[in-house]
Structure 1
Amino acid sequence: MAICNLDLPVQVSGLSLSGPEQLAEELALTVAQALRTAIEARGRASLVLSGGRSPIAFFERLSGQELDWSRVVVSLADERWVALSHADSNEGLVRRHLLRGNAARAGFIGLYRPAQNLDEAAQRADQALAELPQPIDVLVLGMGEDGHTASLFPSSPNLASALSPDCRQRCLPMQAPTAPRQRLSMPLALLAGARLTLLAIQGQAKLATLSEALAGEDLAQMPIRAFFLHPLEIYWCP
């Protein structure tokens, strides 16, 4: 099943999978092969991930894939500004479920930085991301039912800067209007340059959001639309 609108000038393709287990397995196989290809071509690979609860099965399957993890640098598309030990930490999630076994040999660049305020934390994360190999080789995104991706939320004060193609910062302070946590996020200019971008979503509600996003053009209303202007592969399951 193709999940795309052929009437739009976009490069979107998709797979409809039987359930979360198949989605996690297929996504892990695709990501691992792309990382191997990058290592063979350039000697190293960069992988940028999204957090939340949905990716746990994918992270665990990816951690078992055979590849030279010592040549992989992992980072996050976004992060909640909470300590690593906090239950909402994306970095904590990645460390528990992906960076284990052979995958523990991968390098990791987290976005969370202790600081006096969120702006200072974003500046410190920006400096750390200078070590991330670019362009990003593999980017795995999720999507909220409001059409946000990474921490690019509709109505967030910094959204215009985050969506600007001229943004030179590698990390921006962001705010989720409907959630209490302050956020850090890579901007579109950095994310959209990825060699391979995958969007993983589950459930009928997310599929409805995707259909609505594909039918419109306002990026501020549904930031996920910004990624439809670039090659994008969608993995969906009920």
Structure 2
Amino acid sequence: MAISNLPQGVEFICVDNREAHAEALTAAVVEALCHAIEQKGEATLVVSGGRSPIPFFERLSVQELDWSKVTISLADERWVPLEHPDSNGGLIRKHLLCNAAKAATLVDLYTSSESVEAAARQANEVLQQNLPKPIDVLVLGMGDDAHTASLFPGSPGLEDALDPASEQLCLPMWAPSVPRQRLTMTRALLSGAHYQFLAIQGESKLAALQTAATVGDELATPIRAFLRKPLKIYWCS
């Protein structure tokens, strides 16, 4: 299986099944984290939420590296309390920040503000103060509509969130599905990561990625903004 029209320098890695997908992604992320720690004494890891990354999170959580030197944050968050089943922060607490990885530091996006816009402003301040930058390792996901993080086609504010020169680190975003209110890191922050991975599964997401690579534009298929070196794409059916 292959995909056409990817920009030069973007790698597409096809693996046999979902278990192999999680294993291969874990190995690549551990190597990148260890390299960052070796080079500068610390590492920043930004991951995406949802259900499909759970096997990857669980494998990553047991890897033996110096987790005390790793800061973890989320590319996006649903604006719901941490105990809500849709919370990405709750998800990674359960599946990633455990075992060996419990020694890592977590930088949350969620705050219980009066509005999602206020929450985004608070998250922006938290990221400014507490997230070591640039990001060392970024693991993105993608939806069937070619959204990534919470950069959704048609969302108000998408153009600002995709501005590569934006000084904002986090912005409010609206999803087409419940829960609709989201917080997302901006392209300007995400695209500066030294190591960038996109983890996708299934034929429908492969088709969406092909569309983005071939005829998509960034507002219609936001993943296109990240289809550039040094991105490595891990896919299985």
Using structure 2 for the length normalisation, give the TM-score. Answer: 0.96
The aligned residue for residue 222 of structure 2 is: 223
The aligned residue for residue 200 of structure 1 is: 199
User: Shift of the alpha carbon at 1:4?
Assistant: 4.1
User: Shift of the alpha carbon at 1:230?
Assistant: 3.6
The aligned residue for residue 164 of structure 2 is: 165
Cα distance in 2, alignment partners of residues 219 and 87 from structure 1: 30
Q: Say which SS state the counterpart of residue 200 (structure 1) adopts.
A: strand
Residues 135-162 of structure 1, C-alpha deviations (whole Å, 9 max, x = no match): 1000000000001000000000010000
The residue type equivalent to 2:48 in the other structure is S
Kindly indicate whether the alpha-carbon contact (under 8 Å) linking 1:91 and 1:110 is maintained by their aligned counterparts in 2.
yes
Q: Say which SS state the counterpart of residue 77 (structure 2) adopts.
A: strand
| Identity among equivalent pairs (%) | 56
The residue type equivalent to 2:161 in the other structure is A
The residue type equivalent to 2:63 in the other structure is Q
User: Shift of the alpha carbon at 1:228?
Assistant: 1.0
Runs of 4 or more consecutive aligned structure 1 residues displaced over 3 Å after TM superposition: 7-10
Using structure 1 for the length normalisation, give the TM-score. Answer: 0.96
1:89 equivalent to 2:103? Answer no
Q: Say which SS state the counterpart of residue 75 (structure 1) adopts.
A: strand
The aligned residue for residue 155 of structure 2 is: 156
Kindly indicate whether the alpha-carbon contact (under 8 Å) linking 2:78 and 2:87 is maintained by their aligned counterparts in 1.
yes
Select the residue among 55, 67, 70 that pairs with 1:69. 67
Cα distance in 1, alignment partners of residues 39 and 11 from structure 2: 25
Cα distance in 1, alignment partners of residues 229 and 32 from structure 2: 17
Cα distance in 2, alignment partners of residues 194 and 177 from structure 1: 27
Count of matched residue pairs = 236
Select the residue among 94, 97, 100 that pairs with 1:99. 97
Cα distance in 2, alignment partners of residues 203 and 214 from structure 1: 17
User: Shift of the alpha carbon at 1:180?
Assistant: 3.9
User: Shift of the alpha carbon at 1:217?
Assistant: 4.1
| Structure 2: gaps spanning 5 or more residues | none
Residues 165-188 of structure 1, C-alpha deviations (whole Å, 9 max, x = no match): 121111100001344420000000
Cα distance in 1, alignment partners of residues 7 and 31 from structure 2: 28
| Structure 1: gaps spanning 5 or more residues | none
The aligned residue for residue 210 of structure 2 is: 211
Kindly indicate whether the alpha-carbon contact (under 8 Å) linking 1:136 and 1:195 is maintained by their aligned counterparts in 2.
yes
Kindly indicate whether the alpha-carbon contact (under 8 Å) linking 1:192 and 1:230 is maintained by their aligned counterparts in 2.
no
Cα distance in 2, alignment partners of residues 22 and 9 from structure 1: 25
Residues 41-87 of structure 1, C-alpha deviations (whole Å, 9 max, x = no match): 00000000000000000000001111000000000000000000000
The aligned residue for residue 34 of structure 2 is: 36
User: Shift of the alpha carbon at 1:22?
Assistant: 0.5
Cα distance in 1, alignment partners of residues 110 and 177 from structure 2: 21
1:16 equivalent to 2:14? Answer yes
The residue type equivalent to 2:204 in the other structure is A
RMSD: 1.2
The residue type equivalent to 1:228 in the other structure is L
1:52 equivalent to 2:50? Answer yes
Cα distance in 1, alignment partners of residues 91 and 55 from structure 2: 11
Kindly indicate whether the alpha-carbon contact (under 8 Å) linking 1:79 and 1:90 is maintained by their aligned counterparts in 2.
yes
